[in-house]
Amino acid sequence: MATATATAVATAVATATATATATAVATTGRRPAVGGSARRRPWLCALGGVVAASAVWAGVLPATGYGRATPPGVHGYHLSGGVCGRVNLEPLTDAVTSGGFERNSPLLRKEPALDHLECEPTSELPAGDGWVTSYLVQITVDLHKKTDPRPEFVDAYHESPVAPTPLETDGGYSLPGYGVTTRAHPGLDDLASCATGTTHEMLSVLHGGAVVSIGVDAANVWGGVGKAPLNADGSPKTPALADVTGLRTVLPQTVRHLMATLAA
């Protein structure tokens, strides 16, 4: 029986591979940035994806009985466009705003296998001498209803250093953040991972088929009257580097609050 099954698998794969070789096309996708960018904002977002050849196996293995698994469940979580409101993001709201985030437009998609929510509220706080600290908060929630996201979560958030990425600004006044380090964060549901750096903090949590992430990026930009000040040689004056390390204790509380809201 095992020999017959193995033969069936090999034959199916060979047939599928030959067909795929003759007909497959490379596909790329790009998601538009959510929300808008106000003046002085340095945020530039891009997302791309590539479809892999594993689609062949997706059709072959179920036919032979391989690869079947029970979905882990989403623990009663459900998505709506109101999830990204200021009340649902406490205590982060109090830490990075002076009364609430600027209006943003959530991206909400519900499909048979995956529900996806994404929003990017922004805010500003005075940093002194005409400078302001500009915050971009990135909230992503994925509810996997037919597959287990644990392997992908482990691959995406394994412990490793990440090199700093320069920020693009309209005035060139914001410095890039220092390197970000990713490490496990114990005590939050099935698995949790935090990415920490001077200008970037992110916490991602896995709970069954649900993956919830909240990230914060910050940059000091000129918010005073007229053009940004210059140095004696006429070059643009560089502001102090924004620092979000104080949010490391705030993000776990905010994620817990958000997940309680999703389950309500």
Cα–Cα nearest to 244, from 136, 170, 171 = 136
Output the six-digit token pair for 72: 């882990």
The per-residue pLDDT for range 46-68, each reduced to its tens digit, is: 333 323 333 333 343 344 344 44
Helix (H, G, I), strand (E, B) or coil at 44: coil
Output the six-digit token pair for 167: 């920020």
- Tokens 């940004």 correspond to what residue? 228
CA triple 193-51-191, angle to 5 deg: 15
Cα–Cα nearest to 239, from 218, 258, 255, 225 = 218
Cα–Cα nearest to 195, from 207, 186, 182, 184 = 182
- In angstroms, the CA 213 to CA 194 distance is 9
Q: Are 145 and 74 in contact (CB under 8 A)?
A: yes
Q: Would you kindly state where each structural domain of the chain is located, as residue ranges?
A: 25-263
The alpha-helical segments, DSSP class H, found in the chain are 2-23, 55-64, 92-96, 150-156, 250-263
Supply the pLDDT for residue 82.
Answer: 83
Q: Are 202 and 213 in contact (CB under 8 A)?
A: yes
What's the distance, Cα to Cα, between the start and end of the chain in Å? Answer: 49
- In angstroms, the CA 87 to CA 223 distance is 27
pTM greater than the 0.75 cutoff = no
Supply the pLDDT for residue 159.
Answer: 56
Output the six-digit token pair for 34: 């959510």
Buried b (16+ CB within 10 A) or exposed e, 70-84: eebebeebebeeebb
- In angstroms, the CA 187 to CA 190 distance is 8
Q: Which residues of the chain are under the pLDDT cut of 50? A: 1-40, 42-68, 161-177
User: Could you please report the per-residue DSSP string of 155-213?
Assistant: HHT-SEEE---PPP-SSS-PPPPPPEEEEE-TTSSSEEEEEE-SSEEEEEEEETTEEEE
Helix (H, G, I), strand (E, B) or coil at 70: coil
